[in-house]
Amino acid sequence: MDTVAALAELLRSRGADGIEHPSGTLGAHLARVQHRLASLGAGPVLQLAARAHAVYGTDGFDVRLLGLDERPLLADVIGADAEELVHRYGGCDRARTWGQLATRHGVRSRFTGDFEELGPEALRDFADLSLVSEMDVAEHAPGFLDRHGDYFRRLTGAWFPILSRAVAADAARVFG
């Protein structure tokens, strides 16, 4: 079984396809984020992280498919680098990170309170994953853009220097 199929099976076995999410089901959201990043030229590590990005819950959607004690299980399926990005994404304290991400180049963990400074590639991958996930919600959750569009337009502008060109362009299209 290849890595993507093994990950899809793990997500199914943990009930992702039956969990309601603002953009449909969690399983469908995870798959769409992976496919969108693939279409925007993301590498395999970011694509795998995208497919699993919410397994530990997130600051905005705290439903867990895996406990933090199961990090080795996910790393065995998708690799340590992709799992590290999933953990960073799930652990991100958005209120203390997103507004300063482009200037501080790091993520504050809601799990530990620690600040992790990121190199350019890790920073881009984190920002791309974060914004693409929100773009998927914007396109599938009625009223999302009316309620949050201004915020995400400002965030896209602030993050422009750290996003990949393809994600920045797509975000400008989605958020206007």
CA 55/CA 114 separation, integer angstroms: 20
Q: Is residue 120 part of a domain?
A: yes
- Give the pLDDT confidence score for residue 163 in this predicted structure: 98
- Give me the domain span that covers residue 71: 3-168
Q: Is residue 151 part of a domain?
A: yes
Q: Is residue 148 part of a domain?
A: yes
Q: Is residue 42 part of a domain?
A: yes
Q: Is residue 135 part of a domain?
A: yes
Structural domain tally of the chain? 1
- Contact predicate 7/77, CB 8 Å: yes
Mean pLDDT by 10 residues, the chain (176 residues): 94 96 94 98 98 96 95 98 98 98 98 97 98 97 96 97 98 95
Q: Is residue 64 part of a domain?
A: yes
Q: Is residue 10 part of a domain?
A: yes
Q: Is residue 37 part of a domain?
A: yes
- Give the pLDDT confidence score for residue 1 in this predicted structure: 72
